[in-house]
Amino acid sequence: MEIARTSVVTLWAILTAITACARAEEQLDSLAEIMNQAVTDKQVAGASFIVVHQGEVVFREGFGYADIESKRPFTADELLPIASVSKPFMASVVMALVDQRKLNLDDPVEKYLPAFKGKRVQGSESPAKPMTIRQLISHTGGFWGNKGISSEKMDLIRNFERPLDETIDLVAKYGLAYEPGTKWVYSGVGYCVLGRVVEVALGESLEVISQEALFRPMGLSNTTFLPSREMRKTVPTAYLRKGRELKAKDSLAEIEDLRFILPGGSLFTNLDALAAFGQMHLNDGLYDGKRILSKESIAEMRKLQGPEKPSRTYGLGWFRDDVSDSGLAELTFHGGALGAHLRIDRRRELVCAFLVHQNGPQVKPLKDKLLDHVNKMFPVASER
């Protein structure tokens, strides 16, 4: 009787496991269905998505076309510009330098860039408080945002034929938009100043510094601010949806003389590199057995660094959500104007990355649908 009872229990466990595996496979298949349907409906020309759970890749696929006209498939290996998803990478480069004692987060910017000494808020007669590296990373440094600005200010973050040092010389001629540390204003030009601080502090180009501090130690061989012309030829066509049709549009990859590094917005990388970078953060700075960032630096990036913003808050290079009692965000994420998205969910032990080459707001419904589906597949402990 005991043997029979044991056999029944074992059989039940096996059947339960088989059922669970079948259900998981069905849920993963539905991710593919969501993406295939988006291609069929011309929401996107092509896109890729990766899901890493507890350090294991459970989904990694590309869908649709890298180029509609030639019918070249959009694979999971495409190199793409990731726009503002560059910011957590840039912030991580800075934190690596902080770990190496080559920079201090609370160093004043004027220590490295004397042109910013005594800067005034526009309309004020007295100098503002000196801005710090920490404030540049957290969008509280006093600089104007990306919206509603003059064409001259927009040119500072969109002219890719002018090197970074010349851009910052022009930025220094403007007054500040507000007193540093008193407001949160999402600012591309603030990250430009950050990148130039790093260059001056270390005496190298930002590309060289980033490779040595972060990309090379992690083995991110296809991650770069300055891809070669040959690399850029492989980049999928950029599209904009007009009505019910997708139309090719100009791309950063097509610029003949790509000289300008936009520190918070012009990184090129691929799906696997995004997932690896996210996993390093989820592992509190460890990746493939190597210490990339200190645990303290990872924690600092998850903390609120400036004034509260009603809809969402910002740390160092990351948007924050699901904040614990300790003040650390359990969910960190960043999206970009070209549709890329990276998300790290600590409660679910998940890293998700989405890559596409299309207007960000146009692909947001697809990205949100994929992430909602993944959240249901891997509920947090209290929901199980």
Q: Any idea where the domains of the chain sit in the sequence?
A: 38-84+220-376, 89-202
Taken as a whole, the chain contains a residue count of: 384
341 close to 351: Cβ distance less than 8 angstroms: no
pLDDT of residue 384: 45
28 Cβ contact list (under 8 Å, min separation 6): 58, 59, 377
Distance, CA of 265 to CA of 192 (rounded, Å): 9
CATH fold for domain 38-84+220-376: Beta-lactamase (3.40.710)
Question: Which secondary-structure segment (H or E) carries 247?
Answer: strand 245-248
pLDDT of residue 148: 87
128 Cβ contact list (under 8 Å, min separation 6): 119, 120, 121, 142, 176, 179, 180
pLDDT of residue 44: 97
pLDDT of residue 20: 41
Backbone angles phi, psi at 122, to 5 degrees: -55, 125
192 close to 157: Cβ distance less than 8 angstroms: yes
Q: How many CB atoms lie within 10 A of CB 327?
A: 11
pLDDT of residue 10: 58
Distance, CA of 234 to CA of 357 (rounded, Å): 13
Distance, CA of 303 to CA of 140 (rounded, Å): 14
342 close to 327: Cβ distance less than 8 angstroms: no
Distance, CA of 287 to CA of 289 (rounded, Å): 5
pLDDT of residue 23: 52
Question: Which secondary-structure segment (H or E) carries 48?
Answer: strand 46-53
Q: What is the pTM of this model?
A: 0.92
The DSSP 8-state label assigned to residue 237 in this structure reads P
The residue ranges of the chain whose pLDDT is under 50 are: 1-3, 13-22, 384
Q: Is 38-84+220-376's fold the same as 89-202's?
A: yes
Place of tokens 């990306």: 146
Structure tokens at 302: 């998850």
The DSSP 8-state label assigned to residue 128 in this structure reads P
Structure tokens at 282: 């989820």
* Angle, in degrees to the nearest 10, between helices 164-171 and 188-202: 120
- For domain 89-202, the CATH superfamily is DD-peptidase/beta-lactamase superfamily (3.40.710.10)
Structure tokens at 118: 């005594």
Q: How many CA within 13 A on the CB side of residue 210?
A: 27
pLDDT of residue 19: 42
Distance, CA of 356 to CA of 160 (rounded, Å): 21
Distance, CA of 377 to CA of 67 (rounded, Å): 32
